[in-house]
Amino acid sequence: MTDHALLAELHASLDQRRRPEDIAELVLRAEPGLTDRERELLERAAEHSGARRGYATSMSEDFARPVGGARQVAATARLFEVPEEASTVDGDRPDALMGFAARVGDEVGWLTGHGDFLDDRLDRAERAAAGIEVSKRQYNRRFRALRRLEAKAGTLRREQDKRRLTLLGRSGFAPCSPRWTASGSPSSSCTCPRSSASRPGVTACCSASARSAASREAPWRPASRA
């Protein structure tokens, strides 16, 4: 793996849930200018990394990511007979979902924030006055699809906020750091992921797992009798 790829993987770890042991292993490979003391400390930390132990951790290496609205966009695009537009909408961005809903919803007089099925639908006379020529059944299906798409955008925004706050609680503002360029200093590139993965709560959890692994590997000895 090239130095650039190592730095890219270190930066990607800021948006993940990597163990300190595995980050220490990456830092050792990416940073050639470590002092003897720094290398000694990182070697101790990397003793229980997955690469050296030959097993994968049972702890998830990522925080739950919100499911985007691509499915709702595709269904709405089929109903409005614009399937080609589905591929142009970023289903992971709530603003993009709402923009698409407003654009196609104009065909049936749908307005953002007015998706109540009982109170906000147009009756026959209002549909005729607005020039809406689809049948009542097709109008209701499209209205429901837009309503679901709007609800999905709201849910996606809340779930993304929850994940962002989870990352802030774990890593501070590290996930907001811009990606380093290939010409950046490897030392500064390694400091942020190393500090992020070594915050007290994460380190305590991984230290406990390392002690547990070490105890499983230690030979059993009977307790001595007084």
Residues 6+ apart with CB under 8 A from 18: 61, 193, 197
Residues 158 and 194 in one domain: no
4 part of a folded domain: no
43 vs 77, 139, 162, CA distance in Å? 54, 65, 35
Residues 37 and 84 in one domain: no
59 part of a folded domain: no
Residues 138 and 113 in one domain: yes
Q: What pLDDT is recorded for position 192?
A: 52
Residues 6+ apart with CB under 8 A from 111: 105, 120
How many percent of the chain have pLDDT more than 90? 38
Residues 161 and 202 in one domain: no
13 part of a folded domain: no
Residues 76 and 141 in one domain: yes
Residues 97, 73 contacting (CB under 8 angstroms): yes
- CB environment 145-164: b (16+ within 10 A), e (fewer): bbbbbbebbeebbebbeebe
190 part of a folded domain: yes
2 part of a folded domain: no
> What confidence tens digit (pLDDT) does each residue in 190-212 have?
555 555 555 544 444 444 443 44
219 part of a folded domain: no
Report the domain count for the chain.
2
> What confidence tens digit (pLDDT) does each residue in 9-64 have?
777 777 787 888 888 888 888 877 788 888 888 888 888 787 787 777 777 778 88
Q: In 3D, which of 4, 57, 12 has the Cα closest to residue 193? A: 12
47 part of a folded domain: yes
> What confidence tens digit (pLDDT) does each residue in 94-117 have?
999 999 999 999 999 999 888 888
3-state secondary structure at position 166: helix
117 part of a folded domain: yes
Residues 75 and 148 in one domain: yes
Structural domain including 191 reads 19-53+180-212
Residues 144, 117 contacting (CB under 8 angstroms): yes
